[in-house]
Structure 1
């Protein structure tokens, strides 16, 4: 078969997954790539031709065979859609990377991620879930090896192998379950009350909905929801799961009817009155009130009666909470109190009455100077957690919120400093705190006895960026975390479920002989019991 690359060698070939299309890159400076129809392998038919504009080093097809990626000498990955047709067309602008050429490319088997290895020994990852809005997925992976000559994903898309020109192979364990945003940072996440849908707020003014019936294999629920033109910073589901609220940087809250999450319907008019970008939204436990707050000169908290979401009514809120920004809102489980954590200009946590809007409940809780604070009530309402940007979490006895003076146990410290989020699990047994040091870090404590909290295992870490917002699934078995690099990550906290999944995937790989070779002591105790 003549690849029709006159006077030059072929620099790369790739078959589509179904084997019906062959892509062949010539070694010319124009980056010529020929496509061949191999439906009848004994009679290959020349299809379309595309040009990258720079010499091509590597080719890869997406799992559905419709997209072709080419890593080129110009330090970019070029994409074409319709690669399985005779008329392929450019897919967006080239994906720019390091200063050195890309010499290897690969799509993950689940089709959500594109990896490209560079001559500068780094690997760039992109979210390609939505081809029209491809975004960089976290920071480049940089290992100890030399230039990355080949990249390949494991069948479950969770491990990336990188072959280096020094003869070594680096293995990268990717975050447990990654949910790529639709564009820009993922600022907020929220589970629906039935746990079957996760909403993610995107900085490209959209909200992504994911089917999380199987949290280990989330699936997009259609295209991202498009509201107004401003970045979405906060999302929340109503307690009955029929309404989704999305607060944006324009000071508006858009409501969506998500009774059928596969067919969400935007309600006509956005809620206004916040007069500043919105950073937090929260529904009252009965679902009749929606609170929103954010960046405002006096820390305004606005309230709406949303007992009928199609006809929301503006209510008196808190005209001045004492600072310039409110970063966090939390209703007490009985709905009588609204707690607000603010930025460094505030330096306090305030409790406000929902029965007498604007009336303070008890005394404000002072925080260290120039620190921001986040708040969360335990499900039984007897404990209020306050976490500040110095990495200190304090548990307060909130049995009587009018006299919030008693601390429960010693302050919980997040090593290394900063903290951006605190959250109780719905079963009340776990408190999680997310922060940012070198990597995204999540610390967990057992708070079954809130007067004696104890750490749970090692911190959870994620390489894709600093942890910003946390959310537990209703059954407390899954933890979602947003990062500042356009990714939400899910952790399966059900130990028994994790063991079963690992054992099913390993097919008994750690047998008695392997145990003797690698473990030695204690005696063989098969980690995966046979039924």
Structure 2
């Protein structure tokens, strides 16, 4: 199987001797073109610079012109000794054609004149089948693979490096051994070779100075990639960033290729695409826009080299309480992507046009994007830098004016501590930075992004937990002091005042604050939560108790609280009269809800896990059934309600490459329209159900 040089023709070779050509100028509607009916099965190779096709059967080599794929034109034929042909490949300049046979024969043909192919060299290079070969990017080297060594496979398989600068006199330079070799592939841009074989094993080789193959070491089991017993084909993306493999378990396998030798076995971005039968062959198109897989039943699948929905690189971080990785206006999204050494590169994306997200800011390691400040227009993001093995922390605020220009960064905020925790006021004007396991909280006025001002330092214990410092209403700060919740009056940030406390308020698990009702919620012993009135910060008053499991209570709108029992029952409470809360609704779930996140405008809710999307009516009632259940989602973030959009990270991605966040529309008609534009091959049913379980599957493009 292979593509023509212009990526407009796909050729497939089938049992019985048929070579089928496909017109794929419109990849959404491949059309049968011409066909070659030969006496035996064949291997094929397309010329890398012109519309020529070479075909090798067990008896003859033929060359065809396919300027018109509907009418292949015979150019030449050369008879060869009768033996099974396993592999065929052109050199990058198209002048040399290499073939491998069942008797271990390597043949090099001169195709400078395609109508007069001439045999330049023929030699036995293996005692068993020469099953795969691949040219280096400059065409001066050739790598061959020959299954398992010896007549009964009693010796290790071999990967050999050849100098073919003079194709008439190939010179063996180096030989490496592996457990099994069924496919080899030269990296298109770097001195690497990949080989694969039995039991799904992948082996990497470095071509040292063009002279010697050196196997890249790996730990036990680290070189496992395939799922089935065989991996008979490999193909690199033309830019070398991705390696595709054929798997006999019925998958097209894809994996990112790391930049460092040490990362080659790490399998960054591994994913797979399902086929109905064992996959025999894979091939990337020369323009890199498609990858094809062919299975043992003769079925061929074309896949676009992109995910089937708009996406951005990386995944959203988990923001502090009251903040979000999505700006309040829904225009910007912050993500991070980690390299093999777990260093993060953070990006901010302009997703105002979700079908074409645009990167507007990149923060290299050790910077990390944090979250967007609430209620700030223009959008303001907090970034954090920490230098490993030091106590140096730096915070910087970035303002995004939405005009399309570059964001502007403010003056750095320096903080010395082992670990830090932050909290943000609801209006996004006051930032609290605390030293975990220490006794210091700094209050910073960030009203002016360019010049943040430290207003005060509070001497108080700071617990070693993410929610140890948080704001509870206008001008009030809460901290965890041992088992107690301590409150601070920060209505004048320059003069914070120690206020009251809730004894044992942090003894069980968690707490929450309902800004609209000015109520604090804390855990109690025995499946109960307590409501506290914080109108007088010096004297918190307990008002009532509600049934609820520890930590399983969630503000779901101003004045409404959801509590969850151990059996999965969720109860909704109207807290207009907090002394006598009124239960307004009960929903029963198949398992206890672990999290509830409300959209910034309160019109939607996300519960997990599994993640479900709910519409919330103006009267605060959740509409049933849910809008969607995202069974394979690992993370879901909702955009403000004037945007029917959500950011989704899949748990075990099979559609994309690497860490991706998908931007998915809840409007069904727009889903079909956008998929047809961005993914014109149509999404198959299994993939559709993974991404859009709430929408009936249909072909997105006719």
Q: Considering the TM-score relative to the shorter chain, is it more than 0.5?
A: yes
Q: Distance in 1 between matches of 2:233 and 2:187?
A: 14
TM-score, normalised via structure 1 length: 0.56
**Deviation, structure 1 residue 354:** 1.2
1:312 aligned residue: 117
| Counterpart-to-counterpart distance in 1, 2:10 and 2:217 | 32
Return closer, same or farther for 1:376/1:415 CA change in 2, 3 Å cut-off: closer
Asked if 1:255 is matched to 2:63, the reply is: yes
Aligned residues of 1:243 and 1:255 also touching (Cα < 8 A): yes
1:276 and 2:83 aligned: yes
Q: Secondary structure at the match of 1:326?
A: coil
Is the counterpart of residue 301 in structure 1 residue 106 in structure 2? yes
| Equivalent position of 2:36 in the other structure | 225
CA displacement, residues 409-461 of structure 1 (integer Å, 9 cap, x when unaligned): 76531254421112111111001121213xx1222211141521434253212
Q: Taking CA–CA contacts closer than 8 Å with sequence separation of 6 or more, which of the two structures ends up with the larger relative contact order?
A: 1
Q: State the match for 1:14 in structure 2.
A: none
Distance 2:212 2:237 in 1: 25
1:354-405 alpha-carbon deviations (Å, 9 max, x no partner)? 134454443211122xx33311011114111111223211222225231222
Q: What is the Cα deviation at residue 191 of structure 1?
A: 0.6
Structure 1 residue 306, shift from structure 2 partner: 0.8
Q: 1:511 to 1:313 in 2, by over 3 A?
A: farther
Shift in alpha-carbon separation, 1:389–1:490, aligned structure 2, 3 A? same
- Which of 305, 321, 334 pairs up with 2:138? 334
Partner of 1:518: 628
Question: Is 1:199 aligned to residue 7 of structure 2?
Answer: no
Shift in alpha-carbon separation, 1:511–1:258, aligned structure 2, 3 A? farther
Report the alpha carbon displacement of residue 518 of structure 1 after superposing the two structures with TM.
2.3
Please state whether the residue corresponding to 2:48 is helix, strand or coil: coil
Is 1:321 matched with 2:125?
yes
2:134 corresponds to 1:362: no
Matching residue of 1:343: 147
| 1:107 corresponds to | none
Residue-by-residue CA offset, 1:272-297 (whole Å, 9 max, x unaligned)? 3354121111111111111111211x
Once the 2 structures are TM-superposed, how far is the Cα of residue 468 of structure 1 from its aligned partner?
A: 0.9
Write the deviation string for residues 14-65 of structure 1: whole angstroms up to 9, x where unpaired: xxxxxxxxxxxxxxxxxxxxxxxxxxxxxxxxxxxxxxxxxxxxxxxxxxxx
Alignment of 1:7-406 (within 5 A): 189-221=1-33, 223-226=34-37, 228-232=38-42, 234-248=43-57, 250-267=58-75, 269-296=76-103, 299-317=104-122, 319-345=123-149, 347-356=157-166, 357=168, 359-368=170-179, 371-406=180-215
Cα contact 2:226–2:253 (8 A) shared by 1: no
Alpha-carbon separation, structure 1, partners of 2:86 and 2:624: 52
Q: Please say if residues 373 and 389 of structure 1, whose CA atoms lie closer than 8 Å, have aligned partners that are also in contact.
A: yes
Give the match for residue 253 of structure 2. 443
Report the CA distance shift for 1:351/1:475 in structure 2 as closer, same or farther (over 3 A): same
How many residues are aligned here?
Answer: 323
Q: Give the TM-score of the pair, scaled to structure 2.
A: 0.43
For residues 304 and 266 of structure 1, what CA distance do their matches in structure 2 show? 17
Q: What is the alpha-carbon distance in structure 2 between the residues aligned to residue 361 and residue 315 of structure 1?
A: 16
CA 261–511 in structure 1, closer or farther in 2 if over 3 Å, else same: farther
> Which range is displaced more, 395-404 or 286-295?
395-404
Give the CA deviation at 1:262: 3.1
Name the CA shift for 1:382/1:372 in 2 (closer, same or farther; >3 Å).
closer
Shift in CA distance, 264/421, structure 1 to aligned 2, threshold 3 Å: same
RMSD after superposition: 2.9
Q: Distance in 1 between matches of 2:218 and 2:288?
A: 23
Instruction: Give CA-to-partner distance per residue, 1:250-274, whole Å, 9 cap, x none.
Output: 232221111232332012x422335
Q: Give SS of 2:239's match.
A: coil
Aligned to 1:471: 283
Q: State whether structure 2 residue 300 is matched by structure 1 residue 462.
A: no
- Tell me: CA distance 1:450–1:431, structure 2 relative to 1, closer, same or farther (3 Å): farther
The DSSP-based 3-state class of the residue aligned with 1:204 is coil
> 2:223 maps to which residue?
412
